[in-house]
């Protein structure tokens, strides 16, 4: 029975929602690898890893916007309802709100940091990068956490009600 419920929940998750979480995870790994590369003075690897992280983040943004403004809009919604109740609901929304605010800032920080690196303005690049990296890492991590909480830990309310109807009394 548990396998059936897990399959039902997984089947109700749109592939773009899972892709979005995967792209956040890829960006996270690339950011960490880029940071590790610069710490051991591999500037070329650092540059390409950070550009790849930016590319993954851009792919995420395009996929996310398409999912919310086309796929969900066709279903009559722009979001998915969180299924958790009580204190975890407050935790979820605290994570979500901080994620959204910082996610709106990341593209500007990332572009400015990359531009400084491209211009070989090392001091300014490093100074801004010290702000950009932790914020970008937070956004990537919380993007995966939000997906996990929203779709797996506390399934959307519509999915939860479907499952409740299918369980034997």
Long-range contacts from 7-14, C-beta under 8 angstroms, 24+ separation: 8/159, 8/162, 8/163, 8/166, 9/151, 9/152, 9/155, 9/159, 9/163, 12/155, 12/156, 12/159, 12/162, 13/151, 14/67, 14/71
Q: What is the CATH number of the domain that holds 99?
A: 1.20.120
Its domain, for residue 16, covers: 2-166
Write down the pTM of the prediction. 0.84
What is the four-CA torsion angle of 126, 128, 133, 134, rounded to 10 degrees?
A: 120
What pLDDT is stored for residue 115 in this prediction?
97
CA separation for the pair 24, 133 (Å, rounded): 14
* Tokens coding 90: 């407050």
Which parts of the chain sit beneath pLDDT 50? 1-11, 159-169
* Tokens coding 12: 């109700």
What pLDDT is stored for residue 4 in this prediction?
39
What pLDDT is stored for residue 162 in this prediction?
40
Query: How many domains are there within the chain?
Result: 1
What pLDDT is stored for residue 158 in this prediction?
54
């Amino acid at each position: 029975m548990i396998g059936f419920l897990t399959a039902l929940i997984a089947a109700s998750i749109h592939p773009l929602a899972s892709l979005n979480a995967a792209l956040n995870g890829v960006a996270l790994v690339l950011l960490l690898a880029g940071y590790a590369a610069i710490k051991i003075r591999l500037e070329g690897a650092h540059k390409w890893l950070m550009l790849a992280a930016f590319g993954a983040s851009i792919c995420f943004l395009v996929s996310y916007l398409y999912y919310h403004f086309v796929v969900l809009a066709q279903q009559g919604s722009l979001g998915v309802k969180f299924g958790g109740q009580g204190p975890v609901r407050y935790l979820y929304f605290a994570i979500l709100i901080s994620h959204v605010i910082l996610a709106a800032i990341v593209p500007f920080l990332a572009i400015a940091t990359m531009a400084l690196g491209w211009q070989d303005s090392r001091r300014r690049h490093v100074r801004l990068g010290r702000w950009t990296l932790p914020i970008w890492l937070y956004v990537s991590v919380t993007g995966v956490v939000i997906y996990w909480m929203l779709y797996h830990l506390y399934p959307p309310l519509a999915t939860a009600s479907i499952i409740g109807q299918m369980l034997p009394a």
